[in-house]
Structure 1
């Protein structure tokens, strides 16, 4: 278990359950002629197929992470402990497992393939993580400066230690995939074929909650992958095609603000089994994201190599968004997209800190209706906002909302719950907040809802550095444990750093786009919120042609209701609890 994650520090939305059906399902049958009744519980539970040293001659009971994610008997606390196997320690052990594959001076030439453990290492970083690190570094540090420091850690400093001196060849900003997600999400939300309202699905905590407790909302979830997932698919497919190596030889770590992103990386829908189709090689599915570490774990990663992250130079080292000193990406078109010479401008504050899905859709609607106005109104609290796009004549064209935090999400899903028919002849449907009132339609009025599990958005993710973390208390000279007010002030610093990203490049990017220079913005006349949908779609079409895979298989995902028989057979519950206790995981 990660040192910063334990059952005592988790406060998920459902109480944990002791019963786990998977060990029972996988136990070998008892042989009464040879087995001692007292030894029937002597089976080790093995996670993710990693076999520990056998302490008894009994067969190991195999439990994969997919088994656990498909079982509603366990909840996010249990899942988070399982996926804590994705940690900074795993990053270091993977870097030290074998020499990295070597890229030759000629494009597409790779050496070292004879060692089956050798891999190419690539990382992706979320802007919320850079903002958290910027706040930890102290006043005056921008998100971009913190990103340069993290880039230097991953691409340079990690390579100075360890058995083989391995480091990450490329460090990609997830903003590149986020812009794809925004354009794809707008097309989906504004499509007449989509079931309304379309609900954002980039938050894995919200998706887990919906799949396990409110399956009636699953048809409304956006099918567009999250930026983390889309980045993983893009890197694995493009590098595999251009370098001629299987996806299993490309190891991708994502640096994220949220522990639940580890859950997302473990979904079977986000492996090569989803996009490789009939051409997939036999064997276990290969994850698009092999490992996720959080903002907190970045500091632990540096400390494990004897590096003080805060001592890393804030000066540009030609890394991150400045690719001049790094090995060129093997595809020139994707090189220009993933590592533009000029950054796209950061989102405005009204776009929120969770990617700006709702804001981009509103701006898209407004751009298609000249003279229209976007109007916003606060809901019952600061984490609920309602928006309306009205025409120049004052008529409503589009309604949308933002719901952050599970307290508000519960109100949303109740409104989406279908009414139950009455058993009385001629009786009205009941049991739903959507039943019609006088003169009002029976459906939810929103066309799009941005849903996030964390109050305040993604800069307040569970994996972010907090004001009461020991390293922050030491750096700020705090002698008493900070309270809620101090944490609120800390979050304001993180938000300030988040919105500082790209400010220096905003004017340059727009001007450069108008002159055809190298940002992701494209033609200035085509811009929506600083993003060019035509350029994004051209890039997506190029990616499809490069891989030979249908676009929908690359960019879309799916969701499923989680159904379990856990606890229905009461005779098995005690045995399951004993098995769980043998691995120290009993609840």
Structure 2
């Protein structure tokens, strides 16, 4: 979904073909505009970027189901919003906030009302896109982004308060948690008779929007697990507010993600502190305050007059980074790249999270001698996976669906048979034979030929040159799957958490673990589960509340008469303000 949205002529729902969020006749004329381009800062214009061309995934997210309130909330998330927030609020001085007792600070070290703790999370797809743009490794792209966000030569050189981001984390760490929790959710669904099967999941927030507003009958099938973006937001705000004794509203979380739909996800009312901390007074505060894409990151650098390619390609020195208040979580969040999970280096896992791959491998480890068999479904964009035991009996069946048409077909198959309203009448139509109920888990992805989660504005080649597009995609894929070819750099030692022996990864490699620890798909399951239990205990909130979300059927009122007590623009502005998040 585009971030360039208008508040003119709003309805509660924007109807396709009547009031599309990006009507062609209202778009400004674009000269040589390439919606698939990430432009380096020497080419980025000072004005707002032009809107991206509509794509299949835009239709998936829109399709008459994007409310005007959501449109306004999404449009507020931009690099301009980042600059305005940094200029408005000074960075909270952490040296005056020793970890508090019982979640409270004393009057002597209480922060000023305008001060904020700035935190950021960066996805691996963004690092891969930046790496391909500048011809560097994925790891060095991560260093470049970290130097820009929190280093002395980055955002801190300008603005009214010289503010930068005090903590920058890799969403890969919370993705490990999501993989493990996702496998457990599949286990639970297989034994829970009340859970609709198959369990559906997707890396695209547009899929949730599509299901809630057009096909609510599939909601019982949806995985309730939060995304790595959302889980990173909950962890940062819950832990930092607890340990520093500050309100969640004093923590401002920026997520740098690969697609515009992540802005839509961050705007969901379920992803606020009210869902995990109902005791906090005041309005609901988003777990993720703002989402920008790779291209907007370059616009942010250009607005500050910073050339990313001139930043040091090494970590921010430990002496310049504040100590994370909880040592155990610091070990998990800030372990050096050489100790990170190896799952990202496996192309079989895909680029949209590797959830299905991890589910299959988890079950395979429980059945020695089993094997995974892959076969084509009804067409080339439907792939089915079977885990077979030594006697070729099926242990688990999963599938991956690519493309909007296949998703529509899946949704139709899951629709329950309609009952006649006449007393004693039989079912009006029989349920289709192939309902997909023999599948335990289905992963829904965007169009196969585009790197999932790396969409419209993210690719760097001319859209009119398919060969160049494929070459660019190959470069991004190589950067994503390689992780790093120079993981043994001396700079890695700086990432050990501030010289604190208790914080260093002294218990062995994260990926391999101890002999008595469970490791699946390069993920140390034992360590991650221990971290999740520790997090839940630390903040006093059940893990089920922290890690899972809910969905709801949303009714469209297009064409219905509404009481108009205030102007549409004023009404939506009021909704935006009440939804929380520092606007």
TM-score bracket for this pair, using the shorter chain length = 0.7 to 0.9
User: How far does residue 205 in structure 1 lie from its aligned partner after superposition?
Assistant: 0.7
User: How far does residue 542 in structure 1 lie from its aligned partner after superposition?
Assistant: 0.4
Q: Secondary structure of 2:520's match?
A: coil
Larger Rg: 1
Q: Which of 95, 98, 105 is equivalent to 2:86? A: 95
Q: Between the two structures, name the one with larger relative contact order (CA 8 Å, sep ≥ 6).
A: 2
Alpha-carbon distance in 1 for matches of 2:448, 2:407: 10
Does the alignment pair 1:280 with 2:275? Answer: no
2:53 alignment partner in structure 1? none
Which 5+ residue runs of structure 2 have no aligned equivalent? 7-12, 22-61, 493-503, 574-583
Contact 2:217 2:415 (C-alpha < 8 Å) held by counterparts: yes
Alpha-carbon distance in 1 for matches of 2:165, 2:507: 31
Q: Secondary structure of 2:212's match?
A: helix
Does the alignment pair 1:487 with 2:430? Answer: no
Contact 1:296 1:463 (C-alpha < 8 Å) held by counterparts: no
2:518 alignment partner in structure 1? 526
User: How far does residue 515 in structure 1 lie from its aligned partner after superposition?
Assistant: 8.5
Q: Taking structure 1 as reference, are residues 582 and 231 closer, same or farther at Cα in structure 2, changes over 3 Å only?
A: closer
User: How far does residue 309 in structure 1 lie from its aligned partner after superposition?
Assistant: 1.9
1:302 alignment partner in structure 2? 301
Instruction: Report matched runs for 1:376-395 at 5 Å.
Output: 376-380=374-378, 383-395=381-393
Alpha-carbon distance in 1 for matches of 2:292, 2:64: 26
1:218 alignment partner in structure 2? 219
Alpha-carbon distance in 1 for matches of 2:300, 2:280: 34
Which 5+ residue runs of structure 1 have no aligned equivalent? 21-70, 474-480
Q: Residue by residue, what CA displacement relative to the aligned partner does 1:448-480 show, whole Å, maximum 9, x if unpaired?
A: 011134545654533652234xxxx7xxxxxxx
Does the alignment pair 1:145 with 2:140? Answer: yes
Contact 2:510 2:523 (C-alpha < 8 Å) held by counterparts: no
Q: Which of 352, 355, 363 is equivalent to 1:354? A: 352
Contact 1:256 1:463 (C-alpha < 8 Å) held by counterparts: no
Q: Secondary structure of 1:115's match?
A: coil
Alpha-carbon distance in 2 for matches of 1:485, 1:335: 44
Contact 2:272 2:287 (C-alpha < 8 Å) held by counterparts: yes
Contact 1:18 1:577 (C-alpha < 8 Å) held by counterparts: no
Q: Taking structure 1 as reference, are residues 207 and 336 closer, same or farther at Cα in structure 2, changes over 3 Å only?
A: same
1:118 alignment partner in structure 2? 115
1:540 alignment partner in structure 2? 532
**Which one is further off, 99-108 or 230-239?**
99-108
**Which one is further off, 141-150 or 162-171?**
141-150
Q: TM-score, normalised by structure 2?
A: 0.77
Q: TM-score, normalised by structure 1?
A: 0.77
User: How far does residue 383 in structure 1 lie from its aligned partner after superposition?
Assistant: 3.9
Alpha-carbon distance in 2 for matches of 1:265, 1:143: 25
Q: Residue by residue, what CA displacement relative to the aligned partner does 1:120-171 show, whole Å, maximum 9, x if unpaired?
A: 0000001011111111113xx2211111111110012001111111000011
Question: Number of aligned pairs?
Answer: 497
**Which one is further off, 448-457 or 129-138?**
448-457
User: How far does residue 345 in structure 1 lie from its aligned partner after superposition?
Assistant: 1.2
1:326 alignment partner in structure 2? 321
Q: Residue by residue, what CA displacement relative to the aligned partner does 1:531-587 show, whole Å, maximum 9, x if unpaired?
A: 122211111110111001111111110000111323123xx69x8999569999xxx
1:24 alignment partner in structure 2? none
Q: Secondary structure of 1:353's match?
A: coil
Alpha-carbon distance in 1 for matches of 2:17, 2:114: 37
Alpha-carbon distance in 2 for matches of 1:460, 1:505: 25
Q: Secondary structure of 2:442's match?
A: strand
User: How far does residue 529 in structure 1 lie from its aligned partner after superposition?
Assistant: 0.2
Alpha-carbon distance in 1 for matches of 2:519, 2:505: 10
Q: Taking structure 1 as reference, are residues 443 and 380 closer, same or farther at Cα in structure 2, changes over 3 Å only?
A: closer
Q: Taking structure 1 as reference, are residues 394 and 550 closer, same or farther at Cα in structure 2, changes over 3 Å only?
A: same
Q: Taking structure 1 as reference, are residues 14 and 445 closer, same or farther at Cα in structure 2, changes over 3 Å only?
A: farther
2:410 alignment partner in structure 1? 412
Contact 2:201 2:444 (C-alpha < 8 Å) held by counterparts: yes
Q: Secondary structure of 1:104's match?
A: helix
Contact 2:65 2:210 (C-alpha < 8 Å) held by counterparts: no
Alpha-carbon distance in 1 for matches of 2:300, 2:354: 30
Q: Secondary structure of 1:486's match?
A: helix
Q: Which of 551, 554, 558 is equivalent to 1:566? A: 558
Contact 1:158 1:167 (C-alpha < 8 Å) held by counterparts: yes
1:133 alignment partner in structure 2? 130
User: How far does residue 326 in structure 1 lie from its aligned partner after superposition?
Assistant: 2.0
Q: Residue by residue, what CA displacement relative to the aligned partner does 1:32-67 show, whole Å, maximum 9, x if unpaired?
A: xxxxxxxxxxxxxxxxxxxxxxxxxxxxxxxxxxxx
Q: Taking structure 1 as reference, are residues 467 and 99 closer, same or farther at Cα in structure 2, changes over 3 Å only?
A: closer
2:165 alignment partner in structure 1? 168
Alpha-carbon distance in 2 for matches of 1:465, 1:197: 32
Contact 2:276 2:545 (C-alpha < 8 Å) held by counterparts: yes
1:50 alignment partner in structure 2? none
Q: Secondary structure of 1:190's match?
A: helix
Q: Secondary structure of 1:200's match?
A: strand
2:549 alignment partner in structure 1? 557
Q: Secondary structure of 2:374's match?
A: strand
Q: Residue by residue, what CA displacement relative to the aligned partner does 1:281-318 show, whole Å, maximum 9, x if unpaired?
A: 1x2101100110111101001000001223323x3224
User: How far does residue 203 in structure 1 lie from its aligned partner after superposition?
Assistant: 2.2
Contact 1:132 1:459 (C-alpha < 8 Å) held by counterparts: no
